[in-house]
């Protein structure tokens, strides 16, 4: 019979051998945070992410109670991998002709695959360690469970006011992966909340998506708008999107716990130079072939070419760069109706910000139908 300390040491060692930076154990139970999920959905804050509303056999949301998807689970091992590659100032100068792709999408290989390989390695070690038959299941990001809640109770980090998991040493640039197991393992202590009176993330959010501390309205969040939202981006939110073309790091960039965040050594998570602050004009006009080739094995594919172009067009409108006017005039006639309508908005915005622009361009784009 292993002691709690031996089990905790095994989990930590196995996680490090598999390439994780942190790991902890939470009991497979329901926590107070789970109770916030149904009202969050009921308030419509999940927007069009209807997959979050999947229900179990008893009619409750699957994300509300782990027992609905894995009644046999007794423990949740939560693993975290640092994906921080460089400070924002080094990564991309503040150049409004370049877009911003969220850091988590820069990696050489899709993080889902990287983490799943590491989880599988840990899973095998766990089976060996247990020395008896047991059930396990691994998830990276796509399972119907609230990883952050279990991460908190596994001691990996606290849930910050920006709703991200924050670790006192590593900050919040963390990918999470979980292993559900039928083994009853000794749980860690939950990580204490260290946000204190800080509210930098709330103040920095350009679309007021953090409607209160720890409360995100996804419909206003740039991550949702640039990745999950199809079709038209609500006009009143476009200016706030700034130069974000895929995801948004602003509420993490300002977090003081990320000020000294260490840089990851994981080779597969190093940044692809092409994805760090890409040229907006290139993205707005990217061909189908280039999109497929360049974003192969990248989470950016989730936005699809149409969504990425739409986002880049919005960013062109926000750029204050008069030399993008001709590009936007051409895009106003784009065969993709979403690209065309966003380009007409972007052109109006650019011309308002740079009054000299329209004078140089006699041909106005066609009016929106
Ligand atoms: S990711 Fe961006 S838009 Fe979303 S809450 Fe953070 S700062 Fe606001
Ligand atoms: S910026 Fe401040 S309030 Fe927001 S998550 Fe970080 S420490 Fe917490």
- Mean pLDDT score, 176-182: 97
Q: Is the pLDDT of residue 120 over 80?
A: yes
Q: By C-alpha distance, which of 176, 59, 200, 193 is closest to 119?
A: 176
Question: For residue 58, what pLDDT is reported?
Answer: 84
**What pLDDT sits at residue 86?**
79
Give yes or no for residue 299 having a pLDDT over 90: yes
- Cα(172) to centroid of ligand 2, in Å? 10
Residue having the nearest C-alpha atom to atom 4 of ligand 1: 221
- pLDDT value at residue 369: 43
**Has residue 57 got a pLDDT over 50?**
yes
- At residue 249, the pLDDT reads 96
Beta-sheet pairing, 244-246 with 100-101: parallel
Q: What is the pTM of this model?
A: 0.93
Per-residue burial over 87-107, b if 16 or more Cβ lie within 10 Å, else e, is ebeeebeeeebbbbbbbbbbb
| pLDDT score, position 362 | 41
Pairing of the two strands 22-27 and 75-82: antiparallel
Task: Yes or no: say if 321 and 349 are a contact pair by the CB < 8 Å rule.
Answer: no
Residue 141 bears catalytic tag: yes
- Quote the ligand 1 centre to 235 CA distance (angstroms): 17
Q: What is the pLDDT of residue 352?
A: 92
DSSP bridge pairs for 171 = 167
Decide whether any atom of ligand 2 lies within 6 Å of the 296 Cβ: no
For residue 109, is pLDDT > 70?
Answer: yes
pLDDT digits (tens, 9 = 90+) for 235-285: 999 999 999 999 999 999 999 999 999 999 999 999 998 899 999 999 999
- Note the pLDDT of residue 11: 94
* pLDDT at residue 89, as a whole number: 52
CA angle 156–161–165, rounded 5-degree value: 20
Residue 227 carries which DSSP code?
I
Residue 90 has pLDDT above 70, yes or no: no
Q: Which residues pair with 25 in a beta bridge?
A: 77
Q: Which atom of ligand 2 is nearest to the CA of 162?
A: 5
Torsions phi, psi for 323 (to 5 deg)? -70, -5
Query: 334 CB contacts (<8 Å, ≥6 apart)?
Result: 340, 343
Q: Where does the pLDDT of residue 196 fall: very low under 50, low under 70, confident under 90, or very high at 90 and above? A: very high
Mean pLDDT of the chain: 92
């Amino acid at each position: 019979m292993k002691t709690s300390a031996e089990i905790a040491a095994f989990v930590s060692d196995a996680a490090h051998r598999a390439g994780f930076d942190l790991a902890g154990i939470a009991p497979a139970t329901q926590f107070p945070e789970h109770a916030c999920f149904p009202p969050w959905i009921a308030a419509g804050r999940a927007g069009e992410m209807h997959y979050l509303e999947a229900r179990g056999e008893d009619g409750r949301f699957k994300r509300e109670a782990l027992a609905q998807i894995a009644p046999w689970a007794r423990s949740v091992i939560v693993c975290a991998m640092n994906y921080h590659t460089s400070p924002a100032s080094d990564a991309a100068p503040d150049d409004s002709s370049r877009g911003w792709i969220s850091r988590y999408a820069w990696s050489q290989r899709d993080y889902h695959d990287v983490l799943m390989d590491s989880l599988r390695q840990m899973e095998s070690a766990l089976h060996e360690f247990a020395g008896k038959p047991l059930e396990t299941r691994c998830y990276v990001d796509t399972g119907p469970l609230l990883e952050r809640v279990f991460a908190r109770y596994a001691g990996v980090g606290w849930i910050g006011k920006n709703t991200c998991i924050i670790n006192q040493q590593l900050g919040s640039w963390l990918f999470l992966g979980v292993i559900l197991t039928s083994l009853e393992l000794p749980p860690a202590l939950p990580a204490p909340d260290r946000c204190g009176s800080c509210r930098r993330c709330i103040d920095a959010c350009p679309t007021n998506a953090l409607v209160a501390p720890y409360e995100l309205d996804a419909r206003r969040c740039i991550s949702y708008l640039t990745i999950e939202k199809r079709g038209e981006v609500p006009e009143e939110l476009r200016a706030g999107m700034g130069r974000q073309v895929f995801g948004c790091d602003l509420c993490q960039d300002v977090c003081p716990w990320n000020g000294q965040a260490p840089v990851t050594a994981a080779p597969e998570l190093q940044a692809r130079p092409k994805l760090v602050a890409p040229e907006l004009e290139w993205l707005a006009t990217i061909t189908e072939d280039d999109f497929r080739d360049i974003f192969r094995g990248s989470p950016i594919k989730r936005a699809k070419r149409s969504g990425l172009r739409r986002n880049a067009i919005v960013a062109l409108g926000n750029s204050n760069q008069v030399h993008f006017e001709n590009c936007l005039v051409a895009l106003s006639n784009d065969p993709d109706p979403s690209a065309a309508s966003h380009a007409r908005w972007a052109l109006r915005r650019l011309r308002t910000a740079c009054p000299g622009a329209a004078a140089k361009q006699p041909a106005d784009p066609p009016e929106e139908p």
